[in-house]
Amino acid sequence: MSNKTAVITGATKGLGRAIAEIFAQNGFDLCVCARTEADLEAMERDWFEQFPEQKLHTFSVDVSKKSEVREFGAFVRSVFPQLDVLINNAGLFLPGKISEEQEGTLETQLETNLYSAYHLTRALLPIMIPQSRGHIFNMCSIASFMAYPNGGSYSISKFALLGFSKVLREEMKPKGLKVTSIMPGAAWSDSWAGVDLPYERLMQASDVAKAVWGCYDMSDSAVVEELVLRPMLGDL
């Protein structure tokens, strides 16, 4: 019997890496993407040592480019005839105010945070819908439902991603596919690198990964539609 399969975007660092590791620990073969080829090669070396029983397929992608996302989708279909889990995790955070941010900031963040999830999901639904089972996770944010200082276009893009996730949930409901929106607050990742804060002030990437796994590891009759996670002491 073959292993279950998962696709994770932005999987070499931070939340994506932690999520990839917890799925591998639970016997999944993975197909992942990231922008930097060297990071993917390093991940492959780590996987060979940590998870020798699990297959890891990697693909270098700039998810802000539709053509590359579609190429990744075709690659996934070539290595996985069926897909159990899709995790749209890749994202970009450019802080700023709507009135002050550089021209093109909205387009950049929509392309990375929203369009990538839309195009990859559309590319992979043809190998998920026929199974009448599967799970799609969209990595949203607390910025998906609340405005905060310096959120700017990032928050706009994350509001839109939550909207996409809600619509997808309704469309997939009768087809047997689960859709979950994960909305974490501050967790240690590249976005927070170099910030002068106590380590315990932010959530760990592994906390988010455990939450994602918990949402997946339920009976077919249950689905977590939206999950909010925050640091113990609240938002920053």
Rounded Cα distance between 14 and 90, Å, is 10
Alpha helices per DSSP H over the chain: 14-25, 37-50, 66-79, 105-110, 116-124, 152-172, 205-216
According to DSSP, residue 33 is labeled E
Burial of 95 (0-12, 13-18, 19+ CB in 10 A): middle
**Neighbour-count burial of 190, counting CB atoms closer than 10 A to its CB (0-12 exposed, 13-18 middle, 19+ buried):** exposed
Q: Catalytic residue among 115, 118, 148, 154, which? A: 154
Largest CA distance in the chain: 56
CA distance 124 to 138: 14
If residue 227 lies in a helix (H) or strand (E), which one and from where to where?
strand 226-229
- Residue 160 CA from chain centroid, whole number: 15
| Beta strand pairing call for 29-34 and 135-139 | unpaired
Is 199 tagged catalytic? Answer: no
Catalytic site positions = 154
